[in-house]
Chains A and B, each alone.
Chain A
Amino acid sequence: MKRTWNAVTLALALCASARDARAQQTTERFIPVGQSPGISGTRSYLGEIVSVNLQRKTFTVRDAQGLRTIKVAPGTRIWLDRSAQQLTIVDGSMTDLEVGRRVEVLYVDDRRRDTADWIKVLVASGG
């Protein structure tokens, strides 16, 4: 019986929620560039796009630390921050990553700092 119980406890320990706790993405999209709590200024890159490579699905951002080339993965979410125009924030795509636009990029995790989890693109007036 003890062996059975040990197997149960081990299975419980291994199988319960193997995925990491994580933040809610659905409300994140409504938060403007640079205002994500606990993320902006600490775990994200905030800068201007200086180049885009659509074929390789990468783009380069200049932030306070210099140039960073970021990969856009299949699961990367891109949002267009139109809050300055008092418009709702909407889904974007790779083609919205235009040179000169200001972006905020959350990297996936500390081991994948070159891959974007989400990208917020600031859409300037008329942009």
Chain B
Amino acid sequence: MRLLQAATVAGLAASLAALAACPPPEPELTQVERGRNLFFNETFAGNGRTCGTCHRAEDNFGLSPAFIATLPPTDPLFIAETSPALAKNFENPRLMRQFGLILENQDGFGNLDSTFNMRGVPHTLGLATSVASRDGPRTGWSGDGAPGDGSLRSFSTGAVIQHFTKTLNRVPGVDFRLPTSQELDAMEAFMRSTGRQEDLTLPLPLQGAKAARGQLIFLDNKLGKCNNCHFNAGANANPAIFGAGVGNRNFNTGVANLPDKPAKLTGELVPTDDGFGVPGNGEFNTPPLVEAADTPPFFHDNSVATIEGAVAFYNGDAFNNSPSGRLLAGTGGGRGITLDATQVEAIAAFLRVINALENIRESVALLKEPRTRENLRLAGEETDDAILVLAGAGLHPEAVAHLRQARDLINRSAIERATQALTDARAQLVASR
């Protein structure tokens, strides 16, 4: 018996020694972490692009011309400039570099020379709040961006087919591989995790007179009328008008009829984008506004560069002659929306302030995460964005000073003091309830 005990102890000791010699097990990744890895690293055996090629974390998960200008020529974004098989009818490099426009074939692949759309890259922030609608999920600029069941989960499959292919034959297993079911699950989990997880509840107790006035105009059903379609400055329609559970909606706001669109001024072929469906009905879905100010350019075709210009769009003939504009005008025959320049700027100031508040929220959240170089970098970039959107219109110089201080402290990894500076900046923008 004692011999048996000795043998058992010896065996146990050997097992423990073997265990100690093994490397520690890799921590199991969460679904969101797996999705993040796929989003930024997985090429799906295609042309080298990943989801993150166009939805850049450094550019608020979108893609602006200013950011594109910083990329090396070898970046897979520019695959049409380096791969002979994709040199024609895959992208328009001139429009991509100047305006951040990506070529899409929502209306079919039958005539690649003339049937295509040039669209901007919508950011993926706050998707958890913006995809659902009473009619089913709405993805992409026109709400019909995903194959399969049309869900956000299926969107990645369509993106691989459209943007990742090695040749225009688009043969699965040759030009790319399709994401597996598990990969789709993980990427959806990641996409839903980025940015805001819930909508604001307006009105906010804003400190600045201009932004506060802008908020009132935004909410005013006789003046700005913005809250009808951008309820609480999000992507969903106002349930008081459209019914409970309405969620995201498509509207024809006449963006397609804007005169002097920058991309068309180049002389390049830019077919009119007819939006939802094939053939399209001219409708596009409603993007969230909280993240708007730091994600220019605006509208599905990147036709407006500034947030003030985007608000002013609703003053113009393109909107007021559109189906949505005419409906807002009602039966009186007047114009749907008429704002003076000061009112346009006030609404834009409101949008800039709520964007800065979201930047601050995100930055503080990142500083609470484990202190990795990536988290600090992203917190710094969020803070930079807050500075940009406020300083860009001369808003809240005191808050900007706190934000600059926070940026400096983030650079020095002084997390607690940086968080305090961000909190101080926030207090300049909005009173605590």
Asked if A12 and B327 make an inter-chain contact with CB atoms under 8 angstroms apart, the answer reads yes
Kindly report which residue of chain A lies nearest to residue B148, judged by CB atoms. Answer: A37
Question: Secondary structure at chain A's binding surface: helix, strand, loop or mixed?
Answer: loop
The contact string, 1 if C-beta is below 8 Å from chain B, for chain A 19-55, is 1111111111111100111110001000000000000
CB of A86 within 8 Å of the partner chain: yes
Asked if B150 and A25 make an inter-chain contact with CB atoms under 8 angstroms apart, the answer reads no
Asked if A28 and B147 make an inter-chain contact with CB atoms under 8 angstroms apart, the answer reads yes
A5-B221, A86-B173 are contacts. A39–B148 as well, Cβ < 8 Å?
yes
Kindly report which residue of chain B lies nearest to residue A36, judged by CB atoms. Answer: B148
CB of A99 within 8 Å of the partner chain: no
Among B109, B171, B328, B332, the residue within 8 A (CB) of A87 is B171
CB of A64 within 8 Å of the partner chain: no
Please report which residues of chain B, range 238-255, place their CB below 8 angstroms from some CB of chain A when the two chains form the complex. Answer: 240-243, 249-251
Give the number of residues in B that approach A within 8 Å (Cβ atoms): 60
A4-B331, A4-B332, A26-B109 are contacts. A19–B276 as well, Cβ < 8 Å?
yes
Asked if B331 and A36 make an inter-chain contact with CB atoms under 8 angstroms apart, the answer reads no
CB of B397 within 8 Å of the partner chain: no
CB of B107 within 8 Å of the partner chain: yes
Among B153, B161, B173, the residue within 8 A (CB) of A38 is B153
Kindly report which residue of chain B lies nearest to residue A43, judged by CB atoms. Answer: B149
Kindly report which residue of chain A lies nearest to residue B137, judged by CB atoms. Answer: A21
Alpha-carbon distance A9/B240, docked complex (angstroms): 9
The contact string, 1 if C-beta is below 8 Å from chain A, for chain B 134-151, is 011110100111111111
CB of A95 within 8 Å of the partner chain: no
Question: Secondary structure at chain B's binding surface: helix, strand, loop or mixed?
Answer: loop
A23-B144, A83-B173 are contacts. A8–B107 as well, Cβ < 8 Å?
no
Asked if A35 and B178 make an inter-chain contact with CB atoms under 8 angstroms apart, the answer reads yes
Asked if A17 and B276 make an inter-chain contact with CB atoms under 8 angstroms apart, the answer reads yes
Asked if A27 and B162 make an inter-chain contact with CB atoms under 8 angstroms apart, the answer reads yes
Among B107, B136, B172, B330, the residue within 8 A (CB) of A20 is B136
Among B136, B147, B169, B222, the residue within 8 A (CB) of A25 is B147
Asked if A12 and B173 make an inter-chain contact with CB atoms under 8 angstroms apart, the answer reads no
The number of chain A residues touching the other chain, given as a range, is: 35 or more
Measured CB to CB, the closest approach of chain B to A118, in angstroms, equals 10
Measured CB to CB, the closest approach of chain B to A76, in angstroms, equals 14
CB of B413 within 8 Å of the partner chain: no
Q: Which residues of B contact A17 (CB under 8 A)?
A: 135, 143, 249-251, 276, 281, 283
Asked if A16 and B330 make an inter-chain contact with CB atoms under 8 angstroms apart, the answer reads no
Alpha-carbon distance A29/B158, docked complex (angstroms): 10
Measured CB to CB, the closest approach of chain B to A28, in angstroms, equals 4
Please report which residues of chain B, range 328-360, place their CB below 8 angstroms from some CB of chain A when the two chains form the complex. Answer: 328-332
CB of B79 within 8 Å of the partner chain: no
Measured CB to CB, the closest approach of chain A to B387, in angstroms, equals 37
Asked if B161 and A37 make an inter-chain contact with CB atoms under 8 angstroms apart, the answer reads no
CB of B377 within 8 Å of the partner chain: no
Q: What 19 additional pairs, Cβ within 8 angstroms, besides A12-B324, A16-B327, A37-B179?
A: A5-B330, A12-B327, A16-B249, A16-B251, A21-B133, A21-B143, A22-B136, A23-B147, A24-B144, A25-B147, A25-B278, A27-B157, A27-B158, A37-B184, A38-B148, A38-B150, A43-B149, A88-B170, A89-B171
A residues adjacent to B (C-beta < 8 A): 1, 4-5, 7-9, 11-13, 15-17, 19-32, 35-39, 43, 83, 86-89
Can you list 29 A-B contacts with CB-CB less than 8 angstroms, sorted by A residue number? A12-B327, A13-B243, A19-B276, A21-B135, A21-B138, A21-B150, A22-B136, A23-B144, A23-B146, A23-B148, A23-B150, A24-B140, A24-B146, A25-B278, A28-B148, A30-B161, A30-B171, A31-B172, A32-B172, A32-B178, A37-B147, A37-B149, A37-B157, A83-B173, A86-B173, A86-B174, A87-B169, A87-B171, A89-B171
